[in-house]
């Protein structure tokens, strides 16, 4: 079972940027696609971005394209979410997750079988 730990969240002003990291241990991290999700208070968890096992294929949720990008470093067992021009509506808990697939990047949470505990991102006005 892969163990995932997110970091890099915090409080940032509107227009600011953050890089979230997800460190993996204990399993076959580099064989699987990875995803980032987020959950705002009172809302359902939503897909943010995903990346294939090699990093060759990425997918960012339409409303976030141009501001969010995803990358991974398999040598470091890590996945990153780069966020710029942050807005208050980006506030939420951000989770990384391990997919069951290699190249396909699912957008449904139920297609991921390992999750981190999440890191809080708060964007102030």
**Which pLDDT belongs to residue 68?**
98
Compute the distance between CA of residue 62 and CA of residue 59 in angstroms, rounded to an integer. 9
Share of the chain above pLDDT 70, in %: 100
Please enumerate in sequence order all residues whose Cβ is within 8 A of that of 31, keeping only pairs 6 or more positions apart, or say none.
53, 102
User: Residue 120: is its pLDDT beyond 90?
Assistant: yes
User: Residue 28: is its pLDDT beyond 80?
Assistant: no
Compute the distance between CA of residue 11 and CA of residue 54 in angstroms, rounded to an integer. 31
Confidence of residue 29 (pLDDT cuts 50, 70, 90): confident
Confidence of residue 114 (pLDDT cuts 50, 70, 90): very high
Assigned token pair, 28: 């076959």
Q: What is the pLDDT of residues 30-41, one digit of tens each?
A: 999 999 999 999
User: Residue 1: is its pLDDT beyond 90?
Assistant: no
Q: Which of 123, 62, 124 is nearest to 94 (CA)?
A: 123
Is 63 in a helix, a strand, or coil?
helix
Assigned token pair, 44: 């359902």
């Amino acid at each position: 079972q892969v163990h995932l730990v997110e970091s890099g969240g915090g409080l940032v002003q509107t227009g600011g940027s953050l890089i979230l990291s997800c460190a993996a241990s204990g399993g076959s991290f580099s064989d699987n696609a990875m995803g980032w999700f987020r959950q705002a208070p009172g809302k359902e968890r939503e897909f943010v971005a995903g990346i294939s096992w090699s990093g060759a294929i990425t997918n960012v949720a339409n409303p976030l394209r141009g501001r969010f990008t995803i990358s991974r470093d398999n040598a470091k067992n890590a996945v990153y979410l780069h966020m710029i021009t942050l807005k208050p509506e980006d506030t939420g808990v951000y989770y990384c997750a391990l997919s069951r697939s290699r190249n396909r990047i699912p957008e449904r949470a139920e297609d991921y079988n390992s999750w981190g505990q999440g890191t809080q991102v708060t964007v102030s006005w």
